[in-house]
Amino acid sequence: VCMEVLHKLINENNTVLLNRAAWIFSRFYSQYPPRLHYDRGIFCALLNSLINRGLWQEVFLVLESAAASKIFPPLEHIIKIFEGVAFSGLQTAFSTLVGIFCKLVHGGMSVTPAEIGHIIAIMSKCNAAQNHIGILFSMKSRLERKISKSNWAYDVDAALSEVEHCKVNSDWMKLGTLYVTVCTGCENLTMIKNFSRCVAEALMKDSINERPEIPYCELADAVFKNPQFNDMQKNLLGRIGISIMCFYHLKELWLKDVMRLGTLAAFFSQLHENCHI
């Protein structure tokens, strides 16, 4: 029933009736969540009509109710509202608009850093208050970090699969390169430590065989040669080496332990005083 009434009022294309439509929408959806008869097309038509007539108070009223009910308008409508407010010279309205936008995003509305950047550009052109622009900059930064962490979570998962591939093929040089890549690119220390633990486990499992090669030595050699090798990686690599030394000792792999100890001694000599295991 609500949507039918709104549809009729919108079609009249009358300012007074549009005011009435905004009030009805706000009252109804502040009390009831959108259900079967909710029509997104009518909601967008209402917003569009209000925007075109510059009825900003009514636009904000509708958006506030929409945010509370988790009714999310298309991003192009949001951008159009920011542009309209900027064009109208209503800088004081940005406080309300930014607040509503934050509620929509926190409520689950999908938005990209690029889209937030576009809104920031709109506000900057009309000299909006820096504190309002700062709120959007913070939102953009948080979203970028979230995306970065999500991407690296996927990348680290892929790297863990590659560890298994390197172990099966005894390609420890490649594993060393992969180790540096993950440690250099990922900012999540917990992920890096988990990856390092998996590397150590792969090296330990391979060390039980009868081959004379020392996987850790080949891995360390590849890592040492990489120009991106840094102190944090040295620290973790040293920890991996100590773990394997303890493993060799436990399994009584004395010859391998001595050979690996030589590599670890060389490793410690490179650490100097700026890295402590």
Q: What is the largest CA-CA distance in the chain?
A: 91
133: tokens are 């622009």
Based on the fold, state whether residues 6 and 117 are members of the same structural domain.
Answer: yes
Residue type, 165: H
- Number of domains composing the chain: 2
Q: Which of 99-103, 146-150, 174-178 has the lowest mean pLDDT?
A: 146-150
Is the per-residue pLDDT at 173 higher than 60? yes
How many other CB atoms sit within 10 Å of the CB of residue 151? Answer: 12
Q: What is the pTM of this model?
A: 0.58
Q: How confident is the model at residue 84 (pLDDT cuts 50, 70, 90)?
A: very high
Domain residues for the domain of 59 are 2-145
* pLDDT value of residue 276: 42
6 φ, ψ to 5°? -60, -40
Based on the fold, state whether residues 9 and 101 are members of the same structural domain.
Answer: yes
Is the per-residue pLDDT at 228 higher than 80? no
Sorted by sequence, the CB contacts under 8 Å of residue 26 that are 6+ apart come out as 61, 62, 64, 65
Based on the fold, state whether residues 134 and 217 are members of the same structural domain.
Answer: no
Cα–Cα distance for residue pair 143/152, rounded to 1 Å: 14
Asked if residue 12 belongs to a domain, the reply is: yes
Based on the fold, state whether residues 74 and 184 are members of the same structural domain.
Answer: no
Domain boundary among 108, 130, 145: 145
How many other CB atoms sit within 10 Å of the CB of residue 185? Answer: 15
Side-chain half-sphere exposure of 14, counting CA atoms within 13 A: 8
Cα–Cα distance for residue pair 43/161, rounded to 1 Å: 47
